[in-house]
Amino acid sequence: MFIRKPSILPPDKPVDRDAIRQSRAVLEHFNRRKLLRGALSLSALTLLTGCDVSEEDSVQKALRAVSSWNDGVQAAIFRSDHLAPTFSPSQVVKPPRFNAYYDIDHVKPIDGATWKLELAGLIKDKRPWTAQQIYQLPEQELIIRHICVEGWDYIGQWSGPNLRAFLTRVGADLTAKYVYFICNDNFTESIDMASALHPQTILATKYAGDFIADPFGYPLRLRTSTKLGYKNAKWIKAVEVTNTFRETFWSKQGENWFAGI
């Protein structure tokens, strides 16, 4: 299959083979649904898309088609009332395990005093939010497993406003298709509206009771319990509600967009 390694990762980033080995069992458990994540044969790909997969251009189009097909299947089987497993405070890993498309030394901390969350798209009240305003909203806590496709996972304790409650409060069109997150490090991610409205999807401001530390997305990040690690945008600077599909940082690298677990 055409699983491309992201070319954008810094070449000097060390591969933690021990961690990969340790996490393999857990990952395998979550990979049982990998059929839905792109394990189609070449002939199935040709059949499905009706195009000649030996041509570069067609391959790109075929990949997009298969990816959309995967997204559609995952969206269809997504159950908004099905809760992800939660864990106890004693299982929480402190500090959390860092990952980004660059090394931790390149994290650029955000000044919480001047930071504002911008709102865009199909939202009635687009007034930006300061961190202080967000801290005053009711908090929800989630102790959930974070799973990164690089082969590791950890249990984390996140809290912050529930995303459905926040979207409702600002008058977002809850029948729109996508919620986009634009981040301070030029990272972009988006999720389908059903996942955005899932009861275990929050805008996290805290980890294990303290404000999230800089490398993990201070002052605001997404924490969904139904999606792979890379969907959980850190250092969010804008939220946009829209019906228009756009590729995101990782989907442009060939990763599946829906990325359900």
Ligand X SMILES: Nc1nc2c(c(=O)[nH]1)N[C@H]1C(S)=C(S)[C@@H](COP(=O)(O)O)O[C@H]1N2
- Closer of 185 and 240 to ligand X (Cβ): 185
How far is residue 178's CA from residue 245's CA, in Å, rounded to a whole number? 7
If one asks whether residue 223 binds ligand X (CB under 6 A), the answer comes out as: no
Closest separation in Å from C-beta 41 to ligand X: 28
Contact by Cβ (8 Å): 176, 122: yes
If one asks whether residue 148 binds ligand X (CB under 6 A), the answer comes out as: yes
Pairing of β 116-121 and β 236-242: parallel
- Closer of 115 and 230 to ligand X (Cβ): 230
Lookup: tokens for 136? 């005053």
Where residue 206 falls (left for φ over 0; alpha for ψ -120 to 50; beta otherwise) is beta
Contact by Cβ (8 Å): 6, 32: no
* DSSP letter, residue 152: E
Stretch touching ligand X by CB under 6 A, among 8-16, 71-79, 111-119, 179-187: 179-187
Q: Residue count at the site for ligand X (CB under 6 A)?
A: 18
- Closer of 99 and 256 to ligand X (Cβ): 99
How far is residue 148's CA from residue 142's CA, in Å, rounded to a whole number? 18
Q: Which member of 38, 96, 161, 260 binds ligand X (CB under 6 A)?
A: 96
For 27-60, the three-class secondary structure string (H helix, E strand, C coil) is: HHHHHHHHHHHCCCCHHHHHHHHCCCCCCHHHHH
If one asks whether residue 230 binds ligand X (CB under 6 A), the answer comes out as: yes
If one asks whether residue 116 binds ligand X (CB under 6 A), the answer comes out as: no
If one asks whether residue 99 binds ligand X (CB under 6 A), the answer comes out as: yes
Closest separation in Å from C-beta 152 to Mo ion: 9
If one asks whether residue 229 binds ligand X (CB under 6 A), the answer comes out as: yes
Neighbours of 117 (CB within 10 A): 20
Q: Which member of 34, 95, 98, 127 binds ligand X (CB under 6 A)?
A: 98
Closest separation in Å from C-beta 235 to ligand X: 5
How far is residue 104's CA from residue 196's CA, in Å, rounded to a whole number? 28
How far is residue 211's CA from residue 204's CA, in Å, rounded to a whole number? 9
If one asks whether residue 129 binds ligand X (CB under 6 A), the answer comes out as: no
Q: Which member of 145, 146, 164, 237 binds ligand X (CB under 6 A)?
A: 146
- Closer of 17 and 79 to Mo ion (Cβ): 17
Q: Which member of 233, 239, 259, 261 binds ligand X (CB under 6 A)?
A: 233
Judged by DSSP in three states, 4 sits in coil
Positions that interact with ligand X (CB under 6 A)? 96-101, 146, 148, 183, 185, 187, 216, 229-230, 232-235
